[in-house]
Amino acid sequence: AGSCHGNSVERKIYIPLNKTAPCVRLLNATHQIGCQSSISGDTGVIHVVEKEEDLSWVLADGPNPPYMILLDGNLFNRKVLLQLKGTSRVSGLAVTIAKPSPPQGFSPGLKCPNDGFGVYSKDYGPEFAHCNTTVWNPLGSGISYEDFDFPIFLLEDANETQVIKQCYLDHNVPRDGSAPQYPLCAMQLFSHMHAVTSTVTCMRRSFLQSTFSINPEIVCDPLLDYNVWSTLQPINASGKVDPEKEVVMVATRVDSHSFFWNIAPGAESAVSSFVTHLAAAEALHKAPDVLLLPRNVMFTFFQGETFDYIGSSRMVYDMEQDKFPLSLDNIHSFVELNQVALRNDSILWLHTDPVSRMNESVNTQVKNLLDILKRSSTGSGVTLQEAGFSQPLPPSSFQRFLRARHIPGVVLTDHRTSFQNRYYQSMYDTPEKIGMQYPEGLSPEETLEYVTDTAKALAQVATVVARALYVLAGGANSTSAIQADPKTVTRMLYGFLIKMNNSWFQSIIKPDLKGILGDVPQHYVAVSSPVNTTYLVQFVLANLTGTVVNLTKEECLNPEKIPQAEKELYEYSWIQGPLAPNSTARVPLCVRSGARLSKALSPAFELRHWGSTEYSTWTESRWKDIRARIFLVASRELEILTLVLGIAILVLSLLATYFINAKADVLFSIPQDPGAVAY
């Protein structure tokens, strides 16, 4: 009863904000970035800032600091944040989502993404290092890589934003130029982070704790997940591929990022390319003679690429250490899809590495690769053009492979120089930005199946890639029948960008994983793995390239018991399956495919080189409590008066208790009976 009473009192005092996303602390070998509150949360009087002039009240004029700013999304930029960072009059920020998105663009990432971890350095193409030739993300403000000593939260719910504004209007608006009267509306943000300084410091502390403590307090965790991969022709995943066997490698990244934790829609920066990749894999698998091709094709989806190429650097490391079925020597050529949804005049640009092409042998192979791609685009609706010999590679997983070996390769993008994407690594990199539009009034099922113009355009790109891969793998027949399916592409775009919990995704995952199907998809790599995106890419790949086999549930879950199962060559998955006709029951299936997972944990953590400059060292701080709430706060004078009165009453009650106790024999003595006789 006591706890219920306490909760009801709390509910009367505080209004919790349930739909928020915090900025959290990340660390690398040398820095900490992000935000945090004090250990007991930070509190301030709310002030709404909708134009730059409103900042003067917070920074100078307002009499009730510190202030908690409700900041309009259009003002969430580097200039404003650095002003607020330099004052003690601000205790935190709550940021609204700008609708429509800032027309000038918004990218909190770096102007030169993953600088220092790609192939270009003082020893390799120094003229291209640090984006000297091309600034890839000119709109990058770098605020995601700043360190703020106050909490910053994103308000995701317009209704909660309105509640805060109403509270501000009722209590905090200055009247006739004079300060508002108490009580004032205040906000409290909790986001205290346990890790400080750098990955070196936090990993050392965690390591010491886990070594010497019975109940270790881990303060940070490495960003990690799994890469997804499969091959056109099955290979023994537990063995080694023959060194003479050549493999064409296709790659994309699957992760994205923004200023706020787990808000990473990544429509153009990640989803457009990996969906195109999946569609190309399906189209190529349908070709009749793929098992007879002289070269194999490997489809690879890298996790953690946003954070200094975690996934690709790990795969290269595993190949070098003989911990992967393929070695770098097996790679015949490399094709990467990287931001392909925002084409101008249907043009895709082919980027190659000018440094490795100075080698005549590599240059000949690259020219052949470019010719095959161009020929494959004939009549497809896609025009392929070379970015130019003087142009370096854009930020791409291919760069990590080039660091290890001169591999002939090409990166396909929708930009020749700087990104077309004006919302790179931001919360505004959404389906609308890549032109996904649906007619009004469609049901969720109709929306899933509706083929958008974006899906048609990406299917064209997937067709070109699939045909080129067929030829690269040594295919001699006509490629005209190799065609990506726009219906598959539109389903994937809907599932990965709008609603994960849809009928198609439900039908292709394992029954015990149906809980991963949340509503709005996010593609942040995180520290608990595999994340939803990884699972779904794996199951979509298995669905599009695998085969339904006639096995019972018991046989499917334990294929090693079946002699002809070839467990080394295939993965078996017992999936939920589609709904039976006119029923709510599902028809489960066993799918056999080559879709597998491999670790995407930076080698720096495997080697305990926490200060590495060769490999990614990103970690995420741990925390105990992240929440936000608003309430009315009394004036400082009233709080002091209440405290003084409380102390006075306490002192008086103690004095009264003392005197009563001292005179207890007089005050509480029992009067003698007058009739009693004393002897």
The model's confidence at residue 664, banded by pLDDT at 50, 70 and 90, is confident
Query: What is residue 190's three-state secondary structure?
Result: strand
Average pLDDT of the segment spanning 612-635:
95
The model's confidence at residue 73, banded by pLDDT at 50, 70 and 90, is very high
Joined tokens for residue 164: 């805060």
Cis before 63? omega within 30:
no
Q: For residue 6, what pLDDT is reported? A: 54
Mapping DSSP onto H, E and C, the string for 133-152 reads CCCCCCCECCHHHCECCCCE
- Is 546 a residue whose pLDDT tops 90? yes
Q: List residues bridging with 333 in a β-sheet.
A: 248
- Name residues whose C-beta falls within 8 Å of residue 332's C-beta, 6 or more positions apart in sequence: 246, 247, 248, 295, 408, 472
Q: Let me know if 455 is exposed, middle or buried by CB neighbors in 10 A (0-12, 13-18, 19+).
A: buried
Mean of all residue pLDDT scores within the chain: 93
Average pLDDT of the segment spanning 352-359:
96
Joined tokens for residue 73: 């999304």
Q: How many Cα atoms are found within 13 Å in the side-chain-facing hemisphere of 29?
A: 17
In total, the chain counts a number of residues equal to 679
Backbone angles phi, psi at 191, to 5 degrees: -160, 55
- CA 572 – CA 24 distance, rounded (Å): 38
Joined tokens for residue 595: 């879709």
Q: Tell me which amino acid residue 12 is.
A: K
Q: Under a CB-based contact definition with an 8 Å cutoff, are residues 43 and 187 in contact? A: yes
Backbone angles phi, psi at 75, to 5 degrees: -100, 0
Q: Under a CB-based contact definition with an 8 Å cutoff, are residues 534 and 542 in contact? A: no
Q: Which of 172, 161, 193, 179 is nearest to 42 (CA)?
A: 193
Q: List residues bridging with 216 in a β-sheet.
A: none
Query: What is residue 611's three-state secondary structure?
Result: coil
CA distances from 651 to 100, 642, 654, 657 (A): 60, 14, 5, 10
The model's confidence at residue 365, banded by pLDDT at 50, 70 and 90, is very high
In this predicted model, what pLDDT tens digit does every residue of 503-526 receive, in sequence order?
Answer: 999 999 999 998 899 878 899 998
Joined tokens for residue 199: 């990955």
Q: For residue 562, what pLDDT is reported? A: 86
What is the residue whose two structure tokens read 């149906």? Answer: 514
Q: For residue 564, what pLDDT is reported? A: 80
Q: For residue 668, what pLDDT is reported? A: 79
- CA 440 – CA 437 distance, rounded (Å): 9
The model's confidence at residue 54, banded by pLDDT at 50, 70 and 90, is very high
pTM flag (> 0.85): yes
Q: Which of 286, 204, 671 is nearest to 479 (CA)?
A: 286
Q: Under a CB-based contact definition with an 8 Å cutoff, are residues 247 and 298 in contact? A: yes
Rounded (10°) CA dihedral 506, 509, 515, 516: -100
- Is 271 a residue whose pLDDT tops 60? yes
Q: Under a CB-based contact definition with an 8 Å cutoff, are residues 252 and 268 in contact? A: no
Q: For residue 672, what pLDDT is reported? A: 64
- Name residues whose C-beta falls within 8 Å of residue 19's C-beta, 6 or more positions apart in sequence: 155, 156, 157, 160
DSSP string, 271-326: IHHHHHHHHHHHHHHTSTTGGG-SSEEEEEEESSTTTTSHHHHHHHHHHHTT-SSS
Point out the least confidently predicted range of 76-90, 352-366, 392-406, 661-675: 661-675
- Is 671 a residue whose pLDDT tops 70? no
Rounded (10°) CA dihedral 357, 359, 365, 368: 60
Average pLDDT of the segment spanning 81-106:
95
The dihedral sign for the CA sequence 430, 436, 440, 441: negative
- Is 252 a residue whose pLDDT tops 90? yes
The model's confidence at residue 635, banded by pLDDT at 50, 70 and 90, is confident
Point out the least confidently predicted range of 30-44, 312-326, 579-593: 579-593
CA distances from 211 to 94, 203, 205, 214 (A): 39, 12, 10, 8
pLDDT above 90 covers what percent of the chain? 84
Query: What is residue 548's three-state secondary structure?
Result: strand
The CATH code that applies to domain 224-542+594-601 is 3.40.630
DSSP string, 223-275: -EEEEEEEESS---TTS---TT--EEEEEEE-----SSTT----IIIIIHHHH
- Is 1 a residue whose pLDDT tops 50? no
- Name residues whose C-beta falls within 8 Å of residue 628's C-beta, 6 or more positions apart in sequence: 16, 17, 20, 94, 153, 187, 188, 189, 190
What is the residue whose two structure tokens read 């291209």? Answer: 128
Long-range pairs for 631-636: beta carbons < 8 A, 24 or more residues apart: 631/13, 631/14, 631/15, 631/185, 631/186, 631/188, 632/171, 632/183, 632/184, 632/185, 632/186, 633/43, 633/45, 633/182, 633/183, 633/184, 633/185, 633/186, 634/182, 634/183, 635/182, 635/183, 635/184
- CA 346 – CA 173 distance, rounded (Å): 52
Instruction: Give the start-to-end residue ranges of the domains of the chain.
Output: 15-106+141-193+626-637, 224-542+594-601, 547-591
pLDDT above 70 covers what percent of the chain? 97
- Is 376 a residue whose pLDDT tops 80? yes
Q: List residues bridging with 70 in a β-sheet.
A: 48, 94
Q: For residue 528, what pLDDT is reported? A: 83
Q: For residue 675, what pLDDT is reported? A: 60
